[in-house]
Amino acid sequence: MNTDIQTLLDTGIIIIDKPPGPTSHEVSSWVKKILHTKKSGHAGTLDPNVTGVLPVALNRATRLLPYITKDKKSYVGILKFSKQINKDAIISLFNLFTGRIIQLPPKMSAVRRRQRIKNIDNIKLIEIKDKRVLFQADVEAGTYIRAIARDISYMIGNCQLEELRRIKVGSIDEGYAVKLQDLVDAYWLFENKGDDSELCKMIHPIEEFINIPKIIVKNNAVEQLAHGSPLFIPGVKEFENFEKDKEIILFTESGRMIGIHKTVVSSEEIKKINKGMLSKPIIIILPP
């Protein structure tokens, strides 16, 4: 097996274009079976009837899913009203659900049912056709669009969410998404023809989508870090600006991800000193 594809299958993430019908867990399980990996996990549960962007991490990369799930989400959907409603009324209605709102998750949801505060960046009207309204919603992670539709229905009468599609998770948009059948075909090509080119296009290094400061460490520090040692300032080769008590992601000089650390100093502080501890390990991905 090619080293590059081995690394991707062990610490990669694939963005599935989830079809309507199966649960997110079922889709994640299918990916594991298709790719013959030991573990898989998904970022951000989609209801069975909801389609779109579903990140599925493989093997060691599943430990990094929290850094994907906390990102903002974008959806497009269709609301069907019991009567025709004009553009101004829709815009006014959507404005009521923009900003900080209190939301009670639907009865059938993946979280405990209690009131929670969520931030809605935007609910934008795209098109009105008869009694149907096409919209886009940009929301904080953990926001339920079904709950917004339910609350709108309480306010103005019968209204139901006919269709919903997630189009973005953080920096991951629909352009990355692949269909399950295309993944099956790509793995067949790899397994039977030794051609991993299509598979390598579909599986991404998970660090590509983790937006925290990056540190490149010197080669002589890598082995100890892979065993879970703290990072000391002399082991740093390059760094982006970072704050104290924040998470950073470590890489080898060759570009391999080591893992996630939490800093004990800031980048401004290490410019003034040349020894001491920089960070402590949280998650180690690089095999020792």
Q: pLDDT tens for residues 58-116?
A: 999 999 999 998 879 999 999 999 988 899 999 999 999 999 998 877 665 555 667 88
Domains defined for the chain, CATH in brackets? 3-69+173-208 (3.30.2350.10), 73-161 (3.30.70.3190), 212-284 (2.30.130.10)
Q: Which amino acid is at 49?
A: N
How many angstroms separate the CA atoms of 126 and 124, rounded? 6
**In contact, 39 and 65? CB cutoff 8 Å:** no
Residues 237-261: what's their mean pLDDT? 96
The DSSP call for residue 175 is G
Tokens matching residue 74:
């974008």
How many angstroms separate the CA atoms of 286 and 288, rounded? 6
Statement: residue 1 has pLDDT above 70: no
The DSSP call for residue 244 is T
pLDDT at 111: 53
DSSP string computed for 15-81: EEEEPSSS-HHHHHHHHHHHHT-S-EEESS---TT-EEEEEEEEGGGGGGTHHHHTS-EEEEEEEEE
Residue of 47, 71, 138, 196 marked catalytic:
47
How many angstroms separate the CA atoms of 160 and 81, rounded? 7
pLDDT at 167: 98
Residue 14: closest CA among 46, 56, 52, 51:
56
pLDDT at 2: 42
For 44-50, the CB contacts below 8 A with 24+ separation are 44/68, 44/69, 44/73, 44/141, 44/166, 44/169, 45/110, 46/18, 46/166, 47/108, 47/146, 47/164, 48/20, 48/21, 48/22, 48/23, 49/20, 49/21, 49/164, 50/18, 50/20, 50/164, 50/165, 50/166
Question: What are the backbone dihedrals phi and psi of residue 38, each rounded to the nearest 5 degrees, phi first?
Answer: -80, -35
pLDDT at 92: 93
pLDDT band with cut points at 50, 70 and 90 for residue 226: very high
Is 47 among the residues known to form the active site?
yes
Tokens matching residue 241:
């600006």
User: What's the pTM?
Assistant: 0.91
pLDDT at 192: 96
